[in-house]
């Protein structure tokens, strides 16, 4: 597995890249319309595991796991 980019680490604030997310396996496994907060960000990286990052938004919504290349 490829490592996450060096700039992304635990505690980083990130935004989801709409073009990288749309059409991905993660997008297909979710609702057909992604919520706006997903792309407006920022989200805090809670944990990195392989190619994935666990994100927490500053809203009362569940944490999500997305591929690091989508951030």
pLDDT tens-digit series, residues 40-69: 889 999 999 999 999 999 999 999 999 999
Could you give the strand order of the β-sheet that contains 52-57, starting from the edge strand earlier in sequence? 13-14, 43-49, 52-57, 64-67
The whole model's pTM is what?
0.81
* pLDDT (mean) for 14-41: 87
Per-residue confidence (pLDDT) for residue 2, from 0 to 100: 52
At a CB cut-off of 8 Å and minimum separation 6, what does 40 contact? 15
Write down the pLDDT at residue 35: 87
6 — pLDDT class (breaks 50, 70, 90)? low
């Amino acid at each position: 597995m490829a490592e996450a980019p060096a700039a992304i680490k635990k505690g980083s604030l990130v935004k989801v890249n709409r073009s990288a997310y749309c059409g991905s396996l993660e997008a297909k496994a979710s609702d057909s319309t992604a919520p706006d907060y997903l792309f407006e960000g920022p989200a805090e990286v809670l944990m990195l595991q392989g190619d994935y990052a666990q994100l927490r938004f500053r809203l009362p919504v569940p944490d999500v796991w997305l591929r690091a290349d989508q951030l």
